[in-house]
Amino acid sequence: MSEQFPTPAPVPAPAGDKKGLAIAALVLGILNLCSWFLPICGGPMAIVGIILGILGIKSSQKTLAIVGIVLSALGLLATIVNAIAGVALGLSNPDWMNQYFNY
């Protein structure tokens, strides 16, 4: 006579803490404050920092995620202002390259 044991219910994998995302958002926010003057670098870095901060806000490091979002948002704002100023200055003086490069 063999006894039949019920099969155990599958246990879901533990949800990983997303504190790495919060720390990455903070690091990108800090780096973004140094790279805002190059819009080609500052813009994408700020967007990635904001996204990682939003994803990391559900972690145990919620404060780091919020600080990362704020720093990245400030960097994005500075990047946008710098890009607009660069376009405005370029349009106001179309011969600026001739002054520096003697074309």
Which pLDDT does position 1 carry in this prediction? 53
Copy the structure tokens of residue 78. Answer: 């500075």
Angle, helices 19-35/39-56, rounded to nearest 10 degrees? 160
pLDDT tens-place string over residues 62-97: 899 999 999 999 999 999 999 898 888 878 877 766
Asked if residue 75 lies in contact with residue 30, where contact means CB atoms within 8 angstroms, the answer is no
Closest CA relative to residue 56, chosen from 27, 23, 13, 14: 23
pLDDT tens-place string over residues 31-46: 998 888 888 888 999 9
Where is pLDDT greater, at 91 or 51?
A: 51
Domain boundaries, the chain: 19-101
pTM listed for this prediction: 0.74
